[in-house]
Amino acid sequence: MQGFLTLQEGQSYQGEASSDWQKPVEGEVVFFTGMTGYQEVLTDPSYKGQIVVFTYPLIGNYGINEDDFESEEPQVNGVVMLQCADTVSHYQATISLKDYLKKWNVPFLTDVDTREITKSIRSEGTCQGALAKESVLPSDKELMGQIYQAYNPITTCHGEGKKHIVVIDFGYKSSIVEQLVEKEAKVTVIPFTNLSDVYKLNPDGIVLSNGPGDPKDATKYLAEIKEILEAYPSLGICFGHQIIALAFGADTKKLSFGHRGANHPVKDVQSGRIFITSQNHNYVVDEESLNDTVLEVSFSNVNDGSVEGLLHPSKPILSAQFHPEANPGPEDALWLIDEFLTDIPSKKGVQVYA
Ligand SMILES: NC(=O)CC[C@H](N)C(=O)O
């Protein structure tokens, strides 16, 4: 069956549709450059509502396993690939990628030159797209408020470690919680809509999670978040990093096209050390806007100079635009989670930092 991906400016790409699509499916079209990691990408809630184009030409060859899910179900609206393997070659695979996507009714298009689509996004910028059995233009409606669909409204508890960390959930990746538990933390994940629970739990530290969409979707929570940040040692990851910037009065802006892949070089501004990171974001902190805040840039992106991390000069608040928990991608930045946990003093935050 033929199917099409059509971008907002009218560029249309014909391929093989996963089924007889009755209704067009829309989403923001983004590209991911990693050679592996499709399972983590498809289930990462930060991709909520997006159509993901994989630039690597062969996707799916190691299938889907039970260990690498970032959430319980696929979060993307659609998938575009050049070739999707029918044969699964991995001892842990329980289902093929095609069967997994079909099971969850996620439309996918194959036999498309995904690098051509990527070139178009890189020159015209990220845009909406439609997957349909004919070439149909997407509506120009940008998705908004995806965090409200991505977060878990129920509080959950994980691990039994000594340090108690509250993860504020904007659509968290499981691997953030897994890393914290592995590093001997006890983790309570709370919805970002229940911030007052932080004081009831009175943890040793806070992690602000990743999440989909525009960080300004959380504007009405910023004042309360700033109070929490000033009271507890905190680490912000991706969306959480952007939220820390906004809470302290800085601004965020949308990149022309995002960073999504497993090989993004980041520089530690103080030491000059470079490490390779896993990334997935459309938005960045506007560096100039930091001038009027207390926050300092701790990491910068080697490719485009964008802000990759922030530090508070006197409080234990740090953040990363990249993903220190990796999944998918290199684990070069895992030390940031260690640093966060090590720096947490033994006394509870409120008393120490108020
Ligand atoms: N991975 C994330 O947390 C993404 C943050 C935000 N949604 C962005 O696209 O920039």
* Other CB atoms within 10 A of residue 19 CB: 12
Spatial contact of 334 and 284, defined as CB atoms under 8 Å apart: no
Same domain, 107 and 175: no
Same domain, 29 and 120: yes
The pairing of strands 163-169 and 108-110 is unpaired
Q: How far is the CA of 285 from the centre of ligand 1 (A)?
A: 11
| Residues labelled as active-site residues | 238, 323, 325
What amino acid occupies position 342? T
205 Cβ inside 6 Å of ligand 1? no
Query: What is the model's pTM?
Result: 0.96
| C-alpha R_g of the chain | 20
Token pair, residue 214, equals: 């525009």
Task: Report if residue 145 sits inside a domain.
Answer: no
**Which CATH number characterizes residue 255's domain?**
3.40.50.880
Same domain, 117 and 204: no
Token pair, residue 213, equals: 């969409």
321 Cβ inside 6 Å of ligand 1? no
Number of domains in the chain: 2
Q: Please give the chain's pLDDT, 354 residues, in tens.
A: 999 999 999 999 999 999 999 999 999 999 999 999 999 999 999 999 999 999 999 999 999 999 999 999 999 999 999 999 999 999 999 999 999 999 999 999 999 999 999 999 999 999 999 999 999 999 978 889 999 999 999 999 999 999 999 999 999 999 999 999 999 999 999 999 999 999 999 999 999 999 999 999 999 999 999 999 999 999 999 999 999 999 999 999 999 999 999 999 999 999 999 999 999 999 999 999 999 999 999 999 999 999 999 999 999 999 999 999 999 999 999 999 999 999 887 434 333 333
Q: What is the ipTM of this complex?
A: 0.98
Angstrom CA distances, 303 to 16, 50, 242, 264, 300, stand at 35, 24, 19, 8, 9
Same domain, 118 and 168: no
Task: Report if residue 139 sits inside a domain.
Answer: no
Task: Report if residue 140 sits inside a domain.
Answer: no
Closest ligand 1 atom, CA of 283?
10
Domain of 58?
A: 2-132
Same domain, 342 and 240: yes
Same domain, 94 and 182: no
Same domain, 198 and 156: yes
